Amino acid sequence: MSILLFLVFFPLLSLGHTLEGCEDSSCNNDGPVIHFPFRLSHQPKHCGYDLGFELHCNNKKDTILELPSSVHLVVEKIDYVSQQIHLYDPEECIATKLPKLNLSQSNFTNDDYPTDLFNCSAPFSDNNYGYYLVPCLSSPGYQVHAVTSTSRLQYFLYGPCTKIHQYPYSHSTFGENKLQLNWLIPLCGNCEFKGMDCGFKNGTKLSETHCFNRTMTHKGNTKQPLIAGVVLGTALVCIIVFSLYQLYLTSRNERESRVRLEKFLDDYKAIRPTRYSYADIKKITDDFNEKLGEGSYGTVYKGRLSSEIYVAVKVLRDSKGKGEEFINEIGTIGRIHHVNVVRLVGFCADGFRRVLIYEYLPNDSLERFILPVSSNLGSVSLISWNKLQHIALGTARGIEYLHQGCDQQILHFDIKPQNILLDHNLNPKICDFGLAKLCSKEKSVVTMTAARGTIGYIAPEVLIKKLW
């Protein structure tokens, strides 16, 4: 039970270790959603890739990214599929901070062309030739323009302009006070495109990441896995309790069956056949070496009590109704001695093992002779009509003895060719008393709760409520 509970809750515990405190976050309702490879500064380190992806919230609830060296910009948007982050300067003059920016010390890149800044004494119309005015650096009679295309530098090189700086970043960002950066590592865009989470394998901080099903990505849904785990765990506990209860009932029924059987055997010590241990049975059958037949009742093996006495050993399967069939067999056939009834030599009731030992009859059953051709039985020689009459009369004498010759009437309820065994002279012997019932000779009516016997061989009177 403990192992099963562990197997159920271990994935949830593992998930909790990997994503604990790593649910989607944001500094304000309108701010960008933050999750791996980014993390807020108060979240555990395994929530983000490394220090370069650490974000924090300022007093105005803006999302701030710190870039080398000491460049603080506000995060406007994070595109996790394209692996891009859009930044802007809260002081509205990003050009003053870019000289201090060194992306070589970070995980971010900017793939645009370098930008040249020119101080021009004469005014230009903004963006007429692909250049942009930088308002925060300009003043009356002193304009600063950002230009990237070298083909347009002629307007500045030969005009009233002086180059004052060059940045390795796109010129278009200056006019809009924005900067767009990309990251190549870790590669999580494919996971995001599939609607999956991205993170470190096994929750360890390695460079290698993997995709996993999104379960705790939305803020406010962090309790869903816990609820699912509780429901699943409760269901499993109920199943285990029910299984243990069924096992207890089965074990109790088996114990009651064994006690009942032992009590019955004690009551019939004087008349019962010889009792053998299961070790004796294995020795008698030479460790179940030769099989004679098999049916729904169990398997029959050939055995030998001595050099001249052979027996048929029937190893029963689980008895129905707490062992009634086994008790019926011993209680009825154990006290019968008739030429047309098979003789019970002994039995075994060793723990849960039930075995019956009969005299060995070499010619098998009557079924073998009245069904000469069968896919299972093979082809055998037919016997004469006189011998069939002899078998029929012998079977009738055996039944008559069961009904009238014993102290109590014995109703067999399962007379059929398979239960008529033949000795070496083809003399019939009735066997298999598992469904037999004892009743007083004074009674002419026997009450039954259900029909007994094999379909096709049940007497018509058995199918009604009273047996006359």
Give residue-wise pLDDT tens across range 6-60.
444 444 444 444 456 688 889 988 889 999 899 898 888 888 887 789 999 999 9
Q: Which residues are catalytic?
A: 414
Half-sphere exposure of 157 (CA within 13 A, CB side): 7
* Contacts for 267-274: CB closer than 8 Å, 24+ residues apart: 268/330, 268/331, 268/334, 271/334, 271/335, 272/330, 272/334, 272/347, 273/330, 273/334, 273/344, 273/345, 273/346, 273/347, 273/357, 274/345, 274/346, 274/347
Please write the tens of the pLDDT for every residue from 261-289: 776 666 555 455 788 899 999 999 999 99
Rounded CA separation 52/30 (Å):
23
List the domain boundaries for the chain. 2-112+173-222, 113-168, 268-467
User: Was 314 annotated as part of a binding site?
Assistant: yes
Q: Would strands 420-422 and 409-411 be described as parallel, antiparallel, or unpaired?
A: unpaired
Peptide bond into 186 cis (omega under 30): yes
Note if the pTM is more than 0.85: no
Residue (of 111, 100, 114) closest to 68 by Cα position: 100
pLDDT at 391: 92
- The model's confidence at residue 318, banded by pLDDT at 50, 70 and 90, is low
Please write the tens of the pLDDT for every residue from 342-388: 888 888 888 788 888 988 988 888 888 876 544 454 444 567 888 88
Rounded CA separation 255/149 (Å):
95
Domain topology for 268-467: Transferase(Phosphotransferase); domain 1 (1.10.510)
pLDDT at 455: 78
Residue (of 307, 316, 256) closest to 281 by Cα position: 316
Across the chain, what does the average pLDDT equal? 77
What angle, 0 to 180 degrees and rounded to 10, lies between the N-to-C axes of helices 224-267 and 2-19?
A: 170
